[in-house]
Amino acid sequence: MTTVNSPHTAMPELLTVEEFAQRLRVGRSTVFLWIASKKMIQAIHYFKIGKTVRIPWSLELLASLSTKNEETEPAPVRSGKNQRIINLDY
C-alpha cells in the first residue's frame, strides 16, 4: 500500500503566484496575464483554493509554457472607436 509520505510519490512543490514569478524572473502581473490569456490552464498548470492560486512547480510545467508560445492565436483585430488607421501590428 502506498502512503502519501512514500518516497515514490513525489509531490510537486506548490507555489504562490509571487513565488512562481520570482523563480521565472517575471512580474506577478505577467503570471496573471498568462492565466487570463489561457496560456496557463486551470487544473493543468494551476489550481485555485477559494481565491488563492497555487502552481505546482515541475519541469513539465516549464516545458509546456515554453512550447505554448508556438501555439498562441493571433491578436484580435480592433474594431470601433479605438481602431488604428494604420495597422502597426502588421
For residue 86, what is its C-alpha cell? 494604420
39, part of any domain: yes
Q: Which amino acid is at 59?
A: L
pLDDT in tens, 11-56: 889 999 999 999 999 999 999 999 999 999 999 899 998 999 999 9
pLDDT in tens, 59-87: 888 888 877 555 445 555 556 666 656 66
pLDDT score of 64: 80
CA–CA distance, 12 with 38 (Å, rounded to integer): 22
pLDDT score of 16: 96
Contact present, 45 and 59 (Cβ < 8 Å): no
Domain count, the chain: 1
8, part of any domain: no
In this structure, the chain runs to a length of 90
50, part of any domain: yes
For residue 21, what is its C-alpha cell? 514569478
| SS3 state of residue 46 | strand
Range of the domain at 30: 13-61
Q: Is the pTM of this model over 0.85?
A: no
For residue 42, what is its C-alpha cell? 486551470
